[in-house]
Structure 1
């Protein structure tokens, strides 16, 4: 089972869009986990266009975990079909539920996903925005690939660096929480950076010139 974790340090530019596109075009059966803890599901009203009622997902999985009943079968009950080879585990229904999900839940979620390895599934994780000492560390530590999204603006690039490394009082480079965490298990090289391009915006008040007509 390959675990692919997608996230950003600020604003998640394109993370969910990329996760959905990858899930629909993945070469193997895949489970997409909408694990963003800064918002409720955006894939159901977005990619799925609200055609499925948000009745399953991480909220129900977290409730099952509280009762020690988050089994692989229970987790599968939370999925929504995206395509013949891809399913989605939608995100939380409320921000309170997302904020209450601690490392124990994410570890339990990971354990419930593991049996699907034998069935040939890969796992895509839409992590949204990273947080310092993120409670989703169990997923980050077990990921085979971590891709951090950013755009070309200086604040976005600086936000990535703030999670990765900083400068001490002598202006020497020191690792931050994410680099420290991955260094502990030898996974620092598992991180890639993807720079996205925002579409150009038309200036207000400007319109395209209408084609001229010959007499």
Structure 2
């Protein structure tokens, strides 16, 4: 049970697509949670397991509403849906205005980090100095930041990494990985980003290359036909997934080794869903 947080410092290098991709390739059971307060995309782009649209009323907002008095792991299954391919997802808020009702970001992070028998891939979207989803970072085993090759975006990444390290202070914080999204034949871009970080004396736990591959990305935009395993996107993602999964394996605890901590029926509002 590990919580992996995916985010970008600026720009749009496809964090949601990468989160869907990594969750699909993850070697253990996983749940993808859209935790971007600016609005979720998964329910709009991915069909359900039976081909029908996802229920827009089921997701992070309904989970938070049901757990307004007490968040507990069983809520994740109750408020997740299965998309085509079998991946479980907790879809994000529909609009930024809806996100104002989500106030338990720190508690959500702690719950996702302790989910029995499953790892959680949380798509935080773009993070900044005051974005509320930052509160989930402290509970994560690994924070994965995505950046493209636009120079200004790399500079913003450098600044965000520095602030993250300062924010954790003496606390170790999560392992930090940087994924550079660049054309498959531009592996040199990773070295260029590494040089920018080295010049600022910023160390990261991993620096990786994910192929910018529009043809591969369409599989995670709802066009799920063909053989995604042959695309540059999937082939470049697999070794990153393998490394992250190996590093986070010590945080994983099988479900049978944990106790169900759902509240008793008399502790829950009558209109609140409880696990059967």
Q: What TM-score results when the alignment is normalised by the length of structure 1?
A: 0.74
Match of 1:184 in 2: 170
Whether the 8 Å contact between 2:16 and 2:125 is mirrored in structure 1 is yes
Q: Give the secondary structure class of the aligned counterpart of 1:12.
A: coil
Q: What stretches of structure 1 of length at least 5 have no aligned partner? A: 166-175, 202-215
Residue 139 (structure 2) pairs with residue 154 (structure 1) = no
Whether the 8 Å contact between 1:65 and 1:108 is mirrored in structure 2 is no
Q: Name the Cα RMSD after superposition.
A: 2.6
More strand by share: 1
Partner deviation per Cα, 1:129-184 (whole Å, 9 max, x = no partner): 0021432233201111111111111111121123233xxxxxxxxxx2x1212333
Q: What CA distance in whole angstroms lies between the structure 1 residues aligned with 2:80 and 2:124?
A: 17
Match of 2:59 in 1: 57
Task: Provide closer, same or farther for how the CA distance between residues 200 and 136 of structure 1 changes in structure 2, counting only shifts above 3 A.
Answer: closer
Whether the 8 Å contact between 2:110 and 2:139 is mirrored in structure 1 is no
Match of 1:110 in 2: 109
Residue 70 (structure 2) pairs with residue 77 (structure 1) = no
Partner deviation per Cα, 1:166-207 (whole Å, 9 max, x = no partner): xxxxxxxxxx2x12123331136x111111126699xxxxxx
Whether the 8 Å contact between 1:3 and 1:125 is mirrored in structure 2 is yes
Whether the 8 Å contact between 1:6 and 1:148 is mirrored in structure 2 is yes
Higher alpha-carbon deviation: 73-82 or 148-157? 73-82
Q: What stretches of structure 2 of length at least 5 have no aligned partner? A: 184-211, 215-276
Q: Give the secondary structure class of the aligned counterpart of 2:115.
A: helix
Match of 1:42 in 2: 41
Q: What CA distance in whole angstroms lies between the structure 2 residues aligned with 1:111 and 1:151?
A: 30
Whether the 8 Å contact between 1:148 and 1:191 is mirrored in structure 2 is yes
Q: What TM-score results when the alignment is normalised by the length of structure 2?
A: 0.59
Residue 9 (structure 2) pairs with residue 9 (structure 1) = yes
